[in-house]
Structure 1
């Protein structure tokens, strides 16, 4: 990692003029977040109602040729809230929401918030046992299902224990003006919604900041998902911190969001920023790299949200003379790798990159307020980056206490658990307790273990390095998958890389393996030159011993690589249909890995 990325005082001072201009918004945003805790009356619904009151005719939502004003969205959500209450949804209940990205999903989230009910944001790609598990975690009073996910629900309907009068159907069309028809046995809210009041429902007790707003599910790439409790106060923190302090949209702005809204980046960061600016949200059903910029131009988007490998997929598209001639001035999200940062900004002429670090369950976050390169930015919350022992998979203690890293060093990120930065955890109390470290710096203190390795950049800035599960140990050394991926990604004809550790019988630790997507035929790729370049850029222990050539990488719904299946298949030709290559001890190039060669490696013929 380059020391040029570290935050120096001159680099910080160069941003001071811009910071002074933005200071009123930053102060307002932090004030909203700081007061939105405990019993303070705060609700996602109030954010919508404020926009509807102050900018009623402003465009709130856009999808394809459809759009709704803030007044129309608020009125629709009020009617849906009254309908759901009339059918048994009470304050404190939960409702499972099964929709792809469409207006009905947001209307349902608002309606639940107006009732003080919790929205369980079901991952639209889940099926079978995983889907039934996710619904069960929420213990919902009812389920709202879009036509596009009806088949998925029907497959697990018998496992949910939800009666027929707790199942509500929404046709795959603009149901606020064309309700369509419901299948036999399903309740059909859109057909009778016009009979319900357009005013907001009155509650016995106002929704408070510490009331749960929705459940967001972990991706489940390494097991069954966990349901994260996300309360109204945390939504207000995102609304304030991103909407007023960081992204700073106005009524003329339009944000293009092709991320799934069952994920916090879309639901909280992007939509929260839009609501704060009383701007328009361009809600895209599914991400398409080939249509992205065309749709940005079509809808006159001035901002967009990103996550994971989305920016890489846009860079992989063939260059176009009009790449710099687009209306985007700000992008917000997480997962823009340092190896892509400058190339993306320059090719698409983006002024501001609001990279962030946060997790659905976490109590600490960073935001790139100052538009610095290659950093997740600054955190106003109490945190620590501490030394971590990879071999024993635990933070290092000296005299009973953990030790902070020095500037430029990498360690485990912890968020201090306080009244202002609580850790609400998961629906399962055992999962919650596993993520808490106690007696960290003094007796009785408690810190949330993020499970992420971060680099201290100085001046309370940080750089994301790796998930702990992604860093592995080989030859007594720690190998950062992110570092190896960055080197491989810089090599000609390599378009995308996933690095992970695999076990070799008779050795300690895990050997490096890289799943690589080429933009040329394998026979045209120079494997000899590849090894030479890796030797120049990486220490010997970090060079992958095995390669897997894949035509397409498997990702989660939020564009993060799925490593678990790759680790399980390892370098076994019987488990993997992709071409495999190996670097044998004492040789100068990668060669095809055959069944015979695989057997020889396992029996110790080649000593690693």
Structure 2
């Protein structure tokens, strides 16, 4: 009833708006009506989708399992020259869940995750969520006391790190400063193998998680393997604020809130059978790791994951993977504008950029140079409980 009341109120406001706009031409009124009708339809879709999800007490992995049932053999993540199907991602989450469950981790335990952008990042926290373990997403740029601060405030029991960041962990282990040491509460370190060759070897005892999970037989790895102990109001992630008002603080992300990060699908109008999404933003960031990752997990839209943003390679990557929608943050648009014209920037299929932080002057210059692209802006905060989005673009 509350939803119906809100919809009626919006409709009444729109009708009032039309009645008082005497100076408008009929054509302008029709255009405004079409835009507002579009907005109302998207609002209804968003409300119904969110409401049904809450009523079914859906968690992120349950949503994902439903997506797998529909699109199992389709591409979920595209990374460098690899294609991770939805079925492959799901199986990887089963392996993560089984390993940590068998290792004694329980609902409510916290594990830190320090890894560069790659599919394993998402598979790891999604797998841990199946057994109710909370993942604390750690900024890959942090070192020494800043890094250990994340582990302390999250009260981590374990730490998972990518081999590419072995040096950062070793620095903490070798330090004579207690403030830089790995907290005593972190009783286990787990490494995840990387494709890039590294000479860094952790001298401290740790578990090669990739090797251990590779020992599991695929037989019996299914949803029923893991008892349903997680609800929509349980915490799934700790995502840290930017730290502009002191040291970064951990914001608790519940399963129910993660569902809201998948709602941009209604404004972006992406179709999983014809659209491909690309994010160049770090996955530990709420925008890179949650806002857009929700689209493949909840709606089946394939996503290209870039290890690190490169302005000179950006359009080449878009052409390579047939990208149609890109995420941006802050100065990314400016960096792309500062690049000399290339052949690839005319060959891509990108029709939308979605993000926030664009300078108005840069925005104008960007759509003038790349005239087939619309920019759709959003605003929100890691620790906030609401957000806004401009879905019509420009």
Same fold (TM over 0.5): yes
Task: Quote the residue 1:327 is aligned against.
Answer: 349
Closer, same or farther in 2 for the Cα pair 1:182/1:150, shift >3 Å? closer
CA contact (8 A) 1:331 1:350 kept: no
Deviates more, 1:40-49 or 1:141-150: 40-49
Report the Cα offset of residue 26 of structure 1.
4.2
Report the Cα offset of residue 63 of structure 1.
1.0
**Corresponding position: 1:63 with 2:84:** no
Q: Unmatched 5+ residue regions in structure 2?
A: 1-16, 174-180
Task: Quote the residue 1:223 is aligned against.
Answer: 246
CA contact (8 A) 2:170 2:202 kept: no
**Corresponding position: 1:214 with 2:234:** no
What secondary structure, in the 3-state scheme, does the structure 1 residue paired with 2:251 have? strand
Task: Quote the residue 1:186 is aligned against.
Answer: 206
Residue of 4, 10, 14 corresponding to 2:31: 14
**Corresponding position: 1:311 with 2:328:** no
**Corresponding position: 1:167 with 2:185:** no
Task: Quote the residue 1:263 is aligned against.
Answer: 285
Task: Quote the residue 1:97 is aligned against.
Answer: 113
Closer, same or farther in 2 for the Cα pair 1:255/1:183, shift >3 Å? farther
Residue of 358, 362, 376 corresponding to 1:340: 362
CA contact (8 A) 1:34 1:237 kept: no
Closer, same or farther in 2 for the Cα pair 1:163/1:232, shift >3 Å? closer
Report the Cα offset of residue 341 of structure 1.
1.8
Report the Cα offset of residue 49 of structure 1.
1.1
Measured in 2, the distance between the counterparts of 1:36 and 1:81 equals: 23
Measured in 1, the distance between the counterparts of 2:294 and 2:119 equals: 15
Deviations 1:148-207 (A, max 9, x none): 11221232343321455x211112129xxxxxx986621122213242542126555542
Task: Quote the residue 1:31 is aligned against.
Answer: 48
Deviations 1:310-336 (A, max 9, x none): 111111112346634421011111112
Task: Quote the residue 1:349 is aligned against.
Answer: 371
RMSD between aligned alpha carbons? 2.7
Residue of 60, 74, 77 corresponding to 1:44: 60
Deviations 1:332-376 (A, max 9, x none): 1111222222221221234432210010110120011232x4xxx
What secondary structure, in the 3-state scheme, does the structure 2 residue paired with 1:228 have? strand
Closer, same or farther in 2 for the Cα pair 1:332/1:274, shift >3 Å? farther
Q: TM-score, normalised by structure 2?
A: 0.83
Residue of 165, 168, 171 corresponding to 1:149: 165
Aligned counterparts, 1:226-241, within 5 A: 226-239=249-262, 241=263
Measured in 2, the distance between the counterparts of 1:26 and 1:233 equals: 18
Report the Cα offset of residue 223 of structure 1.
2.8
Closer, same or farther in 2 for the Cα pair 1:363/1:187, shift >3 Å? same
Closer, same or farther in 2 for the Cα pair 1:109/1:205, shift >3 Å? same
Aligned counterparts, 1:149-548, within 5 A: 149-157=165-173, 158-162=181-185, 166-173=188-195, 185-193=205-213, 194-195=215-216, 197-200=220-223, 205-221=228-244, 223-239=246-262, 241-320=263-342, 323-371=345-393, 373=394
Report the Cα offset of residue 107 of structure 1.
0.7
If asked which structure has higher relative contact order (CA below 8 Å, sep 6+), I would say 2
Closer, same or farther in 2 for the Cα pair 1:200/1:322, shift >3 Å? closer
What secondary structure, in the 3-state scheme, does the structure 2 residue paired with 1:361 have? coil
Closer, same or farther in 2 for the Cα pair 1:185/1:297, shift >3 Å? same
CA contact (8 A) 2:161 2:192 kept: yes
Task: Quote the residue 1:511 is aligned against.
Answer: none
Task: Quote the residue 2:136 is aligned against.
Answer: 120
Task: Quote the residue 2:4 is aligned against.
Answer: none
Task: Quote the residue 1:134 is aligned against.
Answer: 150
Measured in 1, the distance between the counterparts of 2:36 and 2:258 equals: 24
Deviates more, 1:118-127 or 1:208-217: 208-217
What secondary structure, in the 3-state scheme, does the structure 1 residue paired with 2:142 have? coil
> Whose strand fraction is larger, Structure 1's or Structure 2's?
1
Closer, same or farther in 2 for the Cα pair 1:45/1:12, shift >3 Å? farther
Closer, same or farther in 2 for the Cα pair 1:341/1:163, shift >3 Å? closer
CA contact (8 A) 1:57 1:69 kept: yes
CA contact (8 A) 1:251 1:277 kept: no
Closer, same or farther in 2 for the Cα pair 1:188/1:201, shift >3 Å? farther
Residue of 52, 70, 88 corresponding to 1:72: 88
